[in-house]
Structure 1
Amino acid sequence: MSTPTPPTLGDRFRYRFDALMSRGAWALILWHLIMALAAVLAVSLLVILCGEVPADADGVTLGFLALLWTTLMHAIDPGTITGDEGSRGWQTLMMIATVGGILLVGSLVAVLVASVAQRFDALRRGHSRVLEQGHTLVLGWSRQIFTIVSELAAANQSHKGGCIVIYADLDKLWMDQALRAQLRGTGRTRVVVRAGDPTDPGTLHLVAPEHARSIVVLAPEAARDDTQVIRTLLAVGRCAPAPGRSQHVVTEIRDPRNLAVARLTGERRIEVLEIGDLVAKIAVQTCLQSGLSVVYDELLGFAGDEIYFVDAAPLVGHSFAHALHQFEDCTLLGLRGVDGRVQLMPAMDRVVATGEKLILIAADDNRCNVRPWSGSIDEACIVANHNPTHSPERTLILGWNTRVPAIVRGIAAYVAPGSAVLVVSSDPAAAPALAELAAELHNVTLEHRVGDISDRRVLDAQDPRAWHHVMVLPDDRIEVSTEADAQVLVALLHLRDIAADLTIGLARPFSLVSEMRDVRSRDLAEVARADDFIISDRFIGLLLAQLAENAELSAVFAELFDPEGAEIYLRPAANYVALDRELDLHTLVQSGVRRGEVVIGIRLARPTPDDPNHGIIVNPRKSTRLRLSRADQVIVLAES
């Protein structure tokens, strides 16, 4: 075993120098100042020892302080030496002072430039403290961030603007660039990005969580569980809101077993979205009713119509049926009681009470005004109420992900007894999960077949003519969202070709719905001519943005997506009013009242070519007059 050699003088010098360098810019500046003064003092003493002290203009020999000043001027200003007229020794010593000064000043300038550059780089990378109040704080980063920012910016358009603060453990410059690339501006809303660990309560003070109006916690894209979300919620719980500040937290959870845990992580109100169950409910409703995703997109997005709570004082004492006709630019959905309980589509004879709130669909909160109506209903246009019979339905699900069991249960809750569901997938996890699920179902026959959904031969073997609904799902095993969507796109193109061979120019015999993980895939999917698209990331982002603005909407959305509550349906216009006769929306609304339903819009079978909503009109003006055809539909809020 060798014995280490004792440190040399050079080793000691290098160690001390490294220690000095690690202390930062101020230590280096102080070291340069000391070295400069020491050098000036040394040269001045050398001038005195060599007897080269010059005289001034009056012939008086310079004093020690004057000599120090002259030497210092030579050190910091190289041009001073050009005016020297002293002896050779004096000029030589001043040249030494000038060269030493050039070296020290150059080194000092380098330190200052590096220090300033480092400070600017730190500012650009988001390490400065945020001094905002009443902002929306987003903790974490995922694909939903772009939807959330754009929707919150749209919500602030009618106000003086707002601020969104994003805090994520990523490079700030990359986040800024990604936001600029994905968004087309944020209008009056300022977006502040900071880099750091949102699970660390010691650094959360940088983004002022105590002064935020609401906090949104996002799960990382690569996360397979809810650990990161729970840790972030716990960190937020350590930062108490400022006195007088009312705020709530909105987050997403993958595992339903963690819902209760998430709500126990702090004293704030916490609204938790169980994303798997939520997307499954949207997928079920959209599968059974094509076009429904556009309705949800309209209600959940801030760019069009959204849901508001308005004081019910102007309509106190009136029935709910009467109140439905008292808004020209709004659609009444339900009531929120004094106890805070939300009731969508209450009984038509329900009387509005003092202290209650009206739940309205409107383009903006400044349009939620009562406009008394005293017109008449065209009774001749109203079709007598009838109870449609429900026949068994057959649903084909292509692909497998963790939401399929919830989707199958949801379908079973809606369809008539004797219905059938077939799942085609190559995922090994599908067979045991579906075998266990089949034992729970009573009114639906569940079957599983192994096959690659992007293989045309597999799709042909399923005989699409035998199915009423076809749903194509992305594979969870594919981590990259665009690659998972690519498999769905291939299946959609095959199904379009199969439908063309089956129909020969007629209407497709089955409805076709697909789920996409990336919103950019929707434009590509338009080529496949599917009836509906479910962009899961976009829907989650829309819901998070809505709840960030108003936590009270949580109860409304919970009932809309619950099979046991009031839900949105698209039904034939012929069931409500006489076809090809001109009527106003009040007549259509009254036809819904007699069925105990709320009419919230219409779907035109032949929309204009540039209509982005494909003929779906939510919250039309009550005075609008129109003629409905047999292919048109009425969008209603009903229980079955």
Structure 2
Amino acid sequence: MGKLYNIAFKGEVAEGFSVGDVRANFSERFSKPDDVIDQLFSGTAITLARNLQWEQANTAASNLQSLGALVYVLDEQGKVVEIPERRTANDSVGTDSGSAENPGTSTPDQNDNTNPYDLTATAKVRHLTRISDKRVIEAAPETDVRKTRLRYRFDTFMAKGGGSIFLAVTAVFVATFILIGVFTGAFMAQDLYSSAAYKVLAVLAGIAGIVMLSALIAFITTALNQRIVGLKRSRSKVIEDGHTLILGWNEQRIIETLRQLVIANEKEKDACVVVLADKDKQDMDDVLSLRLNDTAKSRIVTRSGDVTTLTDLDMVSLGSCGSVIILASCDDTDSAERKAASDAKAIQTVLATMGNENESDDFGVVVEIFNATHREIVRSSFPDHVITVNTSDILANLMVQASRSIGLSVVYNEILSFDGCQMYFCDAEWGDSTFGEIAYRFPDGVPMGIRNADGTIFMNPSSDQAMAPTDEVLILAEHDSTIEFMDEPVAAPAGHSLSGIRQERRVERELMIGWTVKSPAIIRKFADYIIDGSQIQVLLKSPTDQQVAEISAMNEALDSVEVGLIQKDCLSIEDLLSVKPFEYDNIIILAGTDSGETGVDAARVDAENIVALLLLHRIFSQYPTESGNTKLITEILHSQNDALVARAGTHDVIFS
């Protein structure tokens, strides 16, 4: 008996054949179930027949190759034997741990020697080994490819939006309606003569039509609701020119800012203010409608987006706006971490804003930044267009100056707000006039200073300072439309002599109720006005360790002024009486908390300040003589509480 050979198959196909074709040929030729065919094309070596004579092995291999299969004839040592007309072959095929005489691991069928095409033995085969050489990737059947392509096209069509869904539902509804007409004779009426099967089919067709019509109605309703929600969350481009753009959201700041802008735009025909913030548009509109009752002639447009993104800035027409206001994202009472994050966001917004070309030469940006170093960096980087402000420093100066002169807060409110007179820059043909002469040539307006061509501003210059042709006058007027420079004086000055009596400076006692981030600045400003030996007392109910340390540090830093801490409750009349408030020259009530908490509740703070004012007013009424020279200065957060504070008996009010 000669050598015996085995036939192995690894699921590979010959050139010119696809895996799908060979699978179909195997299934048709050998009539095997799909699980057997799948095992043959699993990619691992499987023995199809074993212990064949050379002629049998050669014939069987040739027949299998004619089906498109790439098979291997192995000798008793597991080596590949060349077969005539074979297209390709590997040097060897991995086998399992069996011996060379039995390269396969499957048990051969008894009929293997007589019928090499019998694949019943494949039900018992095991994988010989994992191969690492290049394999032919099985292609999906043509029917699967068509299904995948159709599914992809359908998904793409439906992903286009509501219009595609509407067309799809409408098409199904029309098709169902046609089927109803076909099966029911184009109408549904009483049917006494049709068969039961026909009636059942007609009823099912009618139900299908009702279901599809309901789906169509539901889709239309949902689409309309989504459209309405989309309109409320409008992302359309703002088509405005010369509008005021507010970037960022701080509820307290933005309400007061919008109130002033509404007043400023009262004489404008069609003024617009656009707000862009990283906040839901509907939420912004709800807050504005609740807290901003009357917008007069101003239109307020809100958009939701990222204030540092050029795309969103273009959405609100940054290039055509007249001015930009960048709000801080937190209050000055918040933690240092939140204020640092607010400064970082504000600087990013400035960079994004200045990186966009603006059509106006007078384009200006006002940004609120807490850190002094950050303010200087931004100011020096964009000196011509960006103005940085810190409300804490400004308010500290205003409160101290208001305490030095009763009624000064009214003057500041008139000048700094748009309710009344405002400050404008005016240029005209000055001729040979001096600053003192032009002061009487404005029917409505009071010159306050001069701005040179290089941007330098001189407040209250000398009356004999000559006006240059390029100079602009800083003037206080009711409106810019009422400013008119006359050729001749509209009034003649009258001479008045001063009394020559000057008030002598004396040792003072100041009482500051509450503690905020402005407190150190207020104390330092007071120290500049009062003489040596004066006292500044801070009244707190429950001071924190940090507040105690800050007060102690201020006392050590100011040699000429004594800074002390009084631990009392300003909402208790007994505690207030114990400190004898009528013996102080000035009492400043700050809008802050004793505990140093962040995120101050403005309504609660204003309410507590009003209660403290009422208690102090009651004490002063009991000691009218002693309290005759005591001045009350109050800081409030909501401007609508102005009337309440005035009734409480304060001398000056500062809005924070």
1:282 alignment partner, SS class = helix
Aligned residue runs from structure 1 range 85-100, under 5 A: 96-100=204-208
SS of equivalent to 1:143: helix
Residue number in structure 1 paired with 2:465: 350
CA distance in 2, matches of 1:143, 1:253: 16
Aligned counterpart, 1:5: none
Q: Which amino acid aligns with 2:572?
A: D
Question: C-alpha deviations, 1:256-287, integer Å up to 9, x for none?
Answer: 34313544788982211112111111111112
Question: Structure 1 residue 201: deviation in Å?
Answer: 4.7
**Structure 1 residue 414: Cα displacement:** 2.2
> Is residue 2:404 matched to residue 1:296?
no
1:532 corresponds to: 652
Q: Please name the residue that 2:603 is paired with.
A: 482
Match of 2:482 among 367, 371, 375: 367
Matched to 2:369, the amino acid is: I
Deviation at 1:297, TM superposition (A): 1.1
Compared CA separation, residues 159 and 85, structure 1 to 2 (3 A): farther
> C-alpha separation between the residues in 1 aligned to 2:358 and 2:410?
42
Residues 1:339 and 1:204: Cα distance change in structure 2 (over 3 Å): closer
Match of 2:316 in 1: 207
Classify the secondary structure of the residue corresponding to 1:117.
helix
What is the alpha-carbon distance in structure 2 between the residues aligned to residue 535 and residue 413 of structure 1? 23
Residue 551 of structure 1 corresponds to: none
Shift of 1:333: 0.6
Residue matched to 2:630: 510
Change (3 A) 1:268 1:313: closer
Q: Is the 8 A contact 2:166 2:216 kept in 1?
A: yes
SS of 2:263 mapped into structure 1:
helix
CA, structure 1 residues 207+243, in 2 after alignment: closer, same or farther (shift >3 Å)? closer
Distance across 2 between alignment mates of 1:326 and 1:135: 32
| 1:195-274 alignment, distance < 5 Å | 195-221=304-330, 224-235=338-349, 237-238=351-352, 240-242=355-357, 244-246=359-361, 247-263=363-379, 269-274=385-390
Question: CA contact under 8 A between 2:308 and 2:352: conserved in structure 1?
Answer: no
Superimposed CA distance per residue, residues 182-233 of structure 1 (whole angstroms, 9 cap, x where no aligned partner): 3342222211122334345554443232332222122234663142353254
2:615 to 494, 497, 521: 494
Alpha-carbon spacing, 1:436–1:195, altered in 2? closer, same or farther (3 Å): same
Max Rg structure: 2
1:81 equivalent to 2:188? Answer yes
**Contact 1:167 1:195 (8 Å CA) reproduced:** yes
Q: Is the 8 A contact 2:533 2:562 kept in 1?
A: yes
Maintained 8 Å contact 2:343/2:371: no
Q: Please tell me whether the aligned partners of residues 398 and 472 of structure 1 are also in contact (alpha carbons under 8 angstroms).
A: yes
- Contact 1:287 1:511 (8 Å CA) reproduced: yes
Cα separation, 2, equivalents of 1:81 and 1:266: 79
Residues 313 and 190 of structure 1: is their aligned pair in 2 closer, same or farther, counting only changes over 3 Å?
A: same
**How many pairs are equivalent?**
490
Q: Offset at 1:20? A: 10
Query: Gapped runs of 5+ residues in structure 1?
Result: 1-14, 55-73, 75-79, 537-640
Distance 1:149 1:418, change over 3 A: same
CA contact (8 A) 1:249 1:268 kept: no
**Which amino acid is the alignment partner of residue 447 of structure 1?**
G
In 1: Cα distance, 2:350 partner to 2:513 partner: 41
Q: Percent identity?
A: 26
Q: How does 1:438-587 map to 2 (within 5 A)?
A: 438-476=555-593, 477=596, 479-503=600-624, 508-536=628-656
Residue type of the alignment partner of 1:498: I
Partners of 1:467 and 1:332 lie apart in 2 by 37
Aligned 8 A contact 1:217 1:229 in 2: no
Q: In structure 1, what is the Cα distance between the partners aligned to 2:530 and 2:221?
A: 72
Q: Could you tell me how far 1:393 is from its partner in structure 2?
A: 2.6
Give the CA RMSD over aligned residues: 3.4
CA contact (8 A) 1:143 1:221 kept: no
Instruction: Give, in whole Å, the separation in 2 of the partners of 1:288 and 1:491.
Output: 21
With over 3 angstroms needed to count, the CA separation of the structure-2 counterparts of 1:313 and 1:442, relative to structure 1, is: farther
2:324–2:365 Cα contact (<8 Å) kept: yes
Q: Residue 50 of structure 2 aligns with which residue? A: none
1:283 aligned onto 2:399 = yes
- Structure 2 CA distance for aligned equivalents of residues 524 and 448 of structure 1: 29
| Displacement after TM superposition at 1:116 (Å) | 1.6
Q: Which moved more, 1:423-432 or 1:197-206?
A: 197-206
Opposite residue 475 of structure 1, the aligned amino acid is G
The structure-2 alpha-carbon separation of the partners of 1:298 and 1:172, relative to structure 1 and needing over 3 Å to count, comes to same
CA distance in 1, matches of 2:605, 2:288: 23
Letter in 1 for 2:348: L
In structure 2, what is the Cα distance between the partners aligned to 1:367 and 1:245?
A: 24
Indicate conservation of the 8 Å contact 1:226/1:258, yes or no.
Answer: no
Which residue is 1:413 aligned to? 528
State the SS of the aligned residue for 2:557. Answer: coil
- Rounded to whole Å, the distance in 2 between the matches of 1:373 and 1:244 is 38
* Cα distance in structure 2, aligned partners of 1:262 and 1:335: 25
Q: Say which SS state the counterpart of residue 301 (structure 2) adopts.
A: strand
Task: String of CA shifts for 1:574-594, please: whole Å, max 9, x gaps.
Answer: xxxxxxxxxxxxxxxxxxxxx
C-alpha distance 273-385 of structure 1, shift in aligned 2 (>3 A)? same
Write the distance in 1 (CA, Å) between the matches of 2:342 and 2:627. Answer: 48
Matching residue of 2:290: 181
Q: 1:242, CA displacement in angstroms?
A: 4.2
Q: Confirm or deny that 1:430 pairs with 2:567.
A: no
CA contact (8 A) 1:217 1:233 kept: no
Is the 1:499–1:509 contact (alpha carbons within 8 Å) kept by the matching residues of 2?
Answer: no
Counterpart of 1:180, as a letter, is S
- Is the aligned partner of 1:144 residue 2:253? yes
Distance 1:388 1:28, change over 3 A: same
230-239 or 509-518, which deviates more: 230-239
Determine helix, strand or coil for the equivalent of 1:313.
coil
Answer yes or no: is 1:110 the counterpart of 2:218.
Answer: yes
**CA positional deviation for 1:139:** 1.8
1:157 — aligned with what? 266
For residues 483-521 of structure 1, give each alpha carbon's deviation from its aligned partner in whole angstroms, at most 9, with x where no partner exists: 1222222221221121111116x9733011111122233
Deviation of the 1:351 alpha carbon: 1.2
Change (3 A) 1:387 1:354: farther
The 10-residue stretch of structure 1 (526-535 or 461-470) with the greater mean CA deviation from structure 2:
461-470
Within the candidate set 25, 33, 48, 2:162 is matched to 25
Structure 1 residues 439 and 339: CA distance shift in structure 2, 3 A: same
SS of residue paired to 1:533: strand
SS at match of 2:267: coil
Q: TM-score, normalised by structure 2?
A: 0.67
Task: Select between 263-272 and 397-406 the one with higher mean Cα deviation.
Answer: 263-272
**Residue in structure 2 matched with residue 403 of structure 1 by the alignment:** 518
